[in-house]
Amino acid sequence: MEIFSDVRNILRLLSGLWVTLRISLTAVGLSVPFGVAFGLLMTWKNPVCKVLSRIILEFVRIMPQLVLLFLAYFGVTRAFGWNLSGGTASVIVFAVWGTAELGDLTRGAIASIPKHQFESAYALGLSKLHVYLNVILPQTVRRLIPPAINLVTRMIKTTSLVVLIGVVEVLKVGQQIIEANRYTFPKAAVAVYLVIFFLYFAACYPISLAAKKLEKRMNG
Amino acid sequence: MDWSFIVKYLPAYTEAAGLTLRLAAEGIALSLIAGALFSVVLYLKIPVISKILNAYIGLARNTPLLVQLFLLYFGLPKIGVRLSGETCAIIGMAFLGGAYMAESLRSGLEAVERIQYESALSLGLSGAQTIRYVMFPQGLAIAIPGVTANIIFLIKETSVFSAVALADLMFVAKDLIGLYYSTGEALIMLVAWYIIILLPVSLLASYAERRIRRSGYGNI
ipTM: 0.86
Band of residue B6 on the pLDDT scale cut at 50, 70, 90: confident
- The pLDDT score that the predictor gives to residue A220 is 57
- Chain B contact set for A197 (CB, 8 A): 63, 67-68, 71
In chain A, residues with a C-beta closer than 8 Å to the C-beta of B149 are none
- Stronger pLDDT, B182 or B217, i.e. the higher one: B182
Chain A: give the shortest CA distance to residue B134, in Å: 27
Q: What is chain A written as a DSSP string?
A: -GGGGSHHHHHHHHHHHHHHHHHHHHHHHHHHHHHHHHHHHHHS--HHHHHHHHHHHHHHHHS-HHHHHHIIIIIHHHHH-----HHHHHHHHHHHHHHHHHHHHHHHHHHTS-HHHHHHHHHTT--HHHIIIIIIHHHHHHHHHHHHHHHHHHHHHHGGGGGGGT---HHHHHHHHHHHTTTT-TTHHHHHHHHHHHHHHHHHHHHHHHHHHHHHHHH-
Angstrom distance (rounded) from CA B195 to CA B193: 5
Please name the member of B61, B64, B191 whose beta carbon is closest to the beta carbon of A208. Answer: B61
- The pLDDT of B112-134, averaged and rounded, is 91
* Sequence spans of domains, chain A: 2-219
Which among B194, B166, B12, B202 is positioned nearest to B92, based on CA atoms?
A: B166
Q: Is B103 on the interface with A (CB under 8 A)?
A: no
Average pLDDT over residues A15-21: 92
Return the percentage of chain A with pLDDT > 90, whole number.
42
A107-125: per-residue pLDDT in tens?
Answer: 888 888 888 888 999 999 9
Nearest to A153 among B62, B78, B202 (CB): B62
Q: Which of A100, A77, A117 is nearest to A31 (CA)?
A: A100
Please determine, for residue B20, whether its predicted confidence score (pLDDT) is greater than 70.
yes
B63 neighbors B40 (Cβ within 8 angstroms): no
Say if CB B139 and CB B108 are below 8 A apart: yes
| Shortest CA gap B193–chain A (Å) | 10
Q: Determine how many CB atoms are found less than 10 A away from the CB of residue A43.
A: 15
- Test B75 with A78 for CB contact under 8 angstroms: no
Residues from chain A contacting residue B197 (CB–CB below 8 Å): none
- Domains recognised in chain B with CATH numbers: 3-215 (1.10.3720.10)
A188, A192, A194, A195 alpha-carbon torsion, rounded to 10°: 140
Average pLDDT, chain A: 89
Residue B174: what residue type?
K
Residue B215 pLDDT grade (very low, low, confident, very high; cuts 50, 70, 90):
low
Q: What integer is the mean pLDDT of B83-93?
A: 91
With an 8 Å Cβ cutoff, the interface of chain A facing chain B consists of 58, 61-67, 70-71, 74-75, 77-79, 153, 157-158, 160-161, 163-164, 171, 174, 186-190, 192-194, 196-197, 200-201, 204-205, 208
Residues of B in contact with A212 (CB under 8 A): none
The pLDDT, as a whole number, for residue A188 is 83
| pLDDT given at position B55 | 94
Q: Which of A100, A208, A101, A194 is nearest to A150 (CA)?
A: A208
- Of A30, A164, A15, A37, whose CA–CA distance to A110 is shortest? A37
CA A204/CA A152 separation, integer angstroms: 9
Per-residue pLDDT, averaged over A33-57, amounts to 89
**Res B220: pLDDT:** 43
Residues in chain B closer than 8 A to A78 (CB atoms):
183-184
**A3-7, A166-170, B184-188, range with the lowest pLDDT:** A3-7
Residue A215 is predicted with a pLDDT of 81
User: For position B214, what pLDDT does the model report?
Assistant: 61
Predicted pLDDT at B216 = 55
User: How far is it, in rounded angstroms, from Cα A95 to Cα A68?
Assistant: 11
Average pLDDT over residues B139-148: 88
Yes or no, beta carbons of A194 and B184 under 8 Å apart: no
CB contact under 8 A, B183 and A163: no
| Helices B3-44 and B47-61, axial angle in degrees (round to 10) | 150
- Give which of B12, B61, B72, B63 is closest to B35, Cα–Cα: B61
Nearest to A161 among B63, B160, B183 (CB): B160
Packing angle of the helix pair A47-62, A86-111 (nearest 10 deg): 130
What is the mean predicted confidence (pLDDT) over B22-34? 94
Inform me whether the pLDDT recorded for B219 exceeds 60.
Answer: no
Nearest of A134, A147, A133, A143 to residue A111 by alpha carbon: A143
**DSSP letter, residue B73:** I
- List the single best residue of A55, A70, A84 to mutate versus B (max B Cβ within 10 A): A70
Stretch (H or E) spanning B186: helix B183-215
* Mean pLDDT confidence for A186-198: 89
Pick the residue from chain B with its C-alpha nearest to A165.
Answer: B174
Query: What is the C-alpha separation between A110 and A174, in angstroms, rounded?
Result: 44
Give the pLDDT of residue A78.
80
CB contact (8 A) between residue B183 and residue A74: yes
Q: What is the pLDDT of residue A114?
A: 87
Give chain B's end-to-end CA distance (angstroms, integer). Answer: 53
Gap between the terminal Cα atoms of chain A: 44
Least confident piece of the model among B8-22, B130-144, B200-214: B200-214
pLDDT at B218 over 50: no
- pLDDT of B217 higher than 80: no
Model confidence at A29, in pLDDT bands (50, 70, 90)? Answer: very high
Lowest mean pLDDT of B28-32, B134-138, B213-217, name the range.
Answer: B213-217
Among left, alpha and beta (phi > 0; psi -120 to 50; other), residue A82 is: beta
Whether the pLDDT of residue B166 is over 90: the answer is: no
What residues in B contact A58, CB-CB < 8 Å? 202
Assess whether pLDDT exceeds 90 at residue B38: yes
CA atoms of A26 and A37, how far apart (whole Å): 18
Burial of A99 (0-12, 13-18, 19+ CB in 10 A): buried
pLDDT over 60 (residue A92): yes
Distance, in Å, from the CA atom of A110 to the CA atom of A133, rounded to the nearest integer, reads 12
3-state secondary structure (DSSP) of residue B112: coil
Question: Which of chain B's residues have a Cβ under 8 Å away from the Cβ of A64?
Answer: 156-159, 170, 194
CA distance B41 to B209: 26
User: Domain A2-219 - what CATH class?
Assistant: mainly alpha
Q: For residue B40, give every residue at least 6 positions away whose Cβ sits within 8 Å of its Cβ, in sequence order, or none.
A: B109, B131
